[in-house]
Structure 1
Amino acid sequence: MSTYLTRRIGYMLLILFAASLMIFLLYALTPGDFVTSNIKLTAARKAELRELYGLNKPVLERYGIWIKNAFHGDFGFSLAQQKPVLTLFHEYIWNSFLLAATSTFFTWVLAVIIGVVSAYKQYSWFDTLVMIFIFAAMSIPSFFIGLFLIKIFAVDLKWLPPGGMLTTGSNAEGMAYVREVLRHMTLPVVVMTLLGIGSLTRYFRSNMIDVIKQDFIRTARAKGMTERTVLYRHALRNALLPAITLIGFELPGLFGGSLIIEKIFNWPGIGQLYMQSFSVRDYPLLMGFTMFIAILTVIGTLLSDILYHVADPRVKL
């Protein structure tokens, strides 16, 4: 295991170095930046700011400065927000994590339950309704579902707030603050769960159907085990093994934010900040966030490989 981890960490560092170079060049070679695109600044002020922030230096020299600072935990300074990039991450990323973690939990729980029952009752009316729901959830755009739920539950019924994280002017503290955040996050969590549950349910359903047909399941039934034990102790455990691979892709998704959902519900998350940075060409923030997602992706892939080996010792690292 130690040899494997050492080799993988070496590969990870090499991949991250290549990714950092590609990310920096992608934004650095894009025409324009925050200074040159700001029409409120005079030509003299633009030249002064470009000199101050080192934007007039050669690209490779700027990359060397950026990657050196990144190794010390400094991903740059947001010109649009006038704050360090890591400070902005701390302010916004946990709001996105709250939405993503909650919706991911409900998505996986519901997908496992529905997928198991649907596979066990294959071609029944329940399975047919599940398949119709799956394709509907995968086909309907997220903005349509979000706006439709806002119309029903916020505008017509007035049960839930239409957006934001807190009511405007709210000074709630303690449990009152928690309840207010829960009310505001209900609709975006429902939309994100509906969007994710379709493909994941289909994934678990197909895995369960394949496992149920295998010989060891027939052997377990022949031994007189209850159907509940056969399904959840033997079939489900083996059907979940391929799903471990998906965990590696969930990690960056937990912190990456949902661009469309956060925009629709005006949720103060990192996804909405990322989109705003695009419009003003705030490249330091864009580079820092993209590099952060690359780091999470590499770490998530390593974790999924290790967890797969732990769950199934037959798999060699």
Structure 2
Amino acid sequence: MALRLLRRLIGVIAVLALVIVGAFFMLEAASGDAIDAYVAGIGGMDATRIAELRVAWGLDQGPMHRLGAYLAALAHGDLGWSTGFQRPVRDVLFERLPVTLITMGSALALAFLLGILLGFIAGIRPNSWLDRILSIGSLALYAMPGFWLSLVLILIFSVSLRWLPSSGFETIASGKTGLARVADIAWHLALPVSALGLLYMTLFLRLLRDGMEEVWHADFIRAARARGISGMRLALRHVARNALAPVVTMLGLQSASLLGGSVVVESVFAIPGFGRLAAEAVSRRDTPLLLGVVLFSAIVVVVMNMLADLVQAWLDPRIGANERYA
């Protein structure tokens, strides 16, 4: 167990290092830097002052020197200074982190649970009329761009029906606390969580439905039927459980895609989360802030995948046995 955990830890460190280095050089490949973005934002600046700022912000050094300095500071827990917000990156990230965790966690839970439910309904009787309706509906939903679905939900539920707010994470300066604040946040997040959840729900639906269709033809299902097992017990305990392992794996993988999709959705609904923060960091060429967003996002994805591995090993004991003897 200790050796397996050590291998996982080394793999996680290697993945995070590759992600940080890759994000750094991708941002470096773009034209301009944080000084250019800052000067353009304020409408111009004296050349002498620009040179002084470039030295103060450490942008007079080469890319390799700045990357080495960043990694050295990161090893001591220092995420750097945000040139766009003029604050420590750690403070900016910790302000936005709860918003992202709540939004992404709610959307992922909605997508997984709804996808499992509808996928199970479709997979009980593959190729039935209900299965075809769910399959066609999920395909049409998956084909919709995230921004378009978000705008449609705003048009229906905010503009026409006026049931839900069209933007924001909570009511500004409402002074609400406790359950009242929780209800206010849930009210504001109903549309963005639905937009994100519905887009990714289709993946879980199709994966479980296709997995169940394959399991129905397995030999052990025929043996279970021969023993008198049938109906909902057969579908739940034998078919769905054996088809669920790939869905759990997809849950870990989709956490990364969900973070990417949140950039568009958070921008449409004006939610101050990591997605919108990443877009702001790119527009301001704020390298330390963008690297901080990438680092925290990568950590979330790695943790989600590790949890998915544990759940998959619980669903299929053969996986745990293979890891023990690997």
Per the normalisation by structure 2, the TM-score is 0.89
The corresponding residue for 1:289 is 293
Match status 1:219 vs 2:238: no
Change (3 A) 1:250 1:140: closer
Q: Distance in 2 between matches of 1:184 and 1:12?
A: 35
SS of 1:240 mapped into structure 2: helix
Q: Determine what percentage of the aligned residue pairs are the same residue.
A: 33
Match status 1:19 vs 2:23: no
Q: Distance in 1 between matches of 2:305 and 2:258?
A: 14
Per the normalisation by structure 1, the TM-score is 0.91
Q: Distance in 1 between matches of 2:179 and 2:34?
A: 41
- Alignment gaps of 5+ in structure 1: none
The corresponding residue for 1:241 is 245
Within 5 Å, give how 1:30-179 maps onto structure 2: 30-37=30-37, 38-39=39-40, 40-179=44-183
Alignment check: 8 A CA contact 1:116 1:236 kept: yes
Change (3 A) 1:22 1:179: closer
**Cα distance, 1:259 vs. partner?**
0.8
Match status 1:8 vs 2:36: no
Q: Distance in 1 between matches of 2:191 and 2:19?
A: 36
**Cα distance, 1:35 vs. partner?**
1.1
Q: Which moved more, 1:236-245 or 1:35-44?
A: 35-44
Q: Deviations over 1:30-77 (max 9, x none)?
A: 331111331333212221111112111232221121001112222211
Q: Which moved more, 1:293-302 or 1:221-230?
A: 293-302
**Cα distance, 1:152 vs. partner?**
1.6
Count of equivalent residues: 317
SS of 1:140 mapped into structure 2: coil
Alignment check: 8 A CA contact 2:99 2:273 kept: yes
Within 5 Å, give how 1:259-270 maps onto structure 2: 259-270=263-274
Q: Distance in 1 between matches of 2:135 and 2:315?
A: 29
**Cα distance, 1:215 vs. partner?**
1.3
Q: Distance in 2 between matches of 1:151 and 1:167?
A: 20
Q: Distance in 2 between matches of 1:65 and 1:51?
A: 14
The corresponding residue for 1:191 is 195
**Cα distance, 1:262 vs. partner?**
0.8
Q: Distance in 1 between matches of 2:20 and 2:256?
A: 16
Q: Distance in 2 between matches of 1:182 and 1:301?
A: 26
User: Structure 1: which amino acid aligns with 2:297?
Assistant: I
The corresponding residue for 2:186 is 182
- Alignment gaps of 5+ in structure 2: none
Q: Distance in 2 between matches of 1:55 and 1:232?
A: 59
**Cα distance, 1:115 vs. partner?**
0.9
RMSD over aligned CA atoms reads 2.1
Alignment check: 8 A CA contact 1:100 1:257 kept: no
Alignment check: 8 A CA contact 1:23 1:291 kept: no
Change (3 A) 1:267 1:14: closer
Q: Distance in 2 between matches of 1:277 and 1:127?
A: 44
User: Structure 1: which amino acid aligns with 2:8?
Assistant: R
